[in-house]
Amino acid sequence: MPNGEIANIWTTKFANFTDTSYVVSSSQEVLFYYPPCWSCTAPMPTSKLRYIFPLQINGQWFSQKEGGDSIKVISQNSILIGKKNYDAYLLTKIRQPAQNYSTQDTLWFVPKIGMVKLVQREYNLGPIPGNGVWELINYSLK
């Protein structure tokens, strides 16, 4: 990783693909990186998501990525996913790197588990396939 940190590998299985992230965490933040791309021209690894801890209502942070991500903690509530209640933080994530491209996502984050629900709203001259509601089905900690 960029500073020699040790990363955990997280895999998220969707209906038609698997997403892999390299995750580096400390007591102050969790950083998600895209997997290495040996044929890419961009410097690797590239970060895709960051959480700043402790999560606090009205807490907000920004990334320096192209278009910049703005993430804000809105509230902390119980959310029912499947048959299980989670004590989750509700966050919004906004990014607009170009005039005709933007994301306005809403996500629920549970400490020590991760994202349990995502309402994805991504636009690139129109809605992107995959927009909609994504919910955690199960998880395992190793």
- The per-residue pLDDT for range 88-130, each reduced to its tens digit, is 999 998 887 777 777 888 999 998 888 899 898 888 887 676 6
12-16, 22-26, 33-37, 130-134: range with highest mean pLDDT: 22-26
More confident residue, 77 or 97: 77
Return all residues near 112 (Cβ < 8 A) that are at least 6 apart.
141
Q: Which amino acid is at 58?
A: N
Cis status, amide bond into 111, omega within 30 of 0:
no
Write out pLDDT tens, residues 23-72.
888 888 888 887 777 676 666 677 777 888 899 999 999 876 655 678 99
pTM of the model: 0.77
Q: How confident is the model at residue 74 (pLDDT cuts 50, 70, 90)?
A: very high
Calculate Rg over the CA atoms of the chain: 15
Q: What is the DSSP letter of 127?
A: B
Q: Rounding to the nearest 10 degrees, give the CA dihedral for residues 69, 74, 76, 81.
A: -60
Q: How many CB atoms lie within 10 A of CB 98?
A: 10
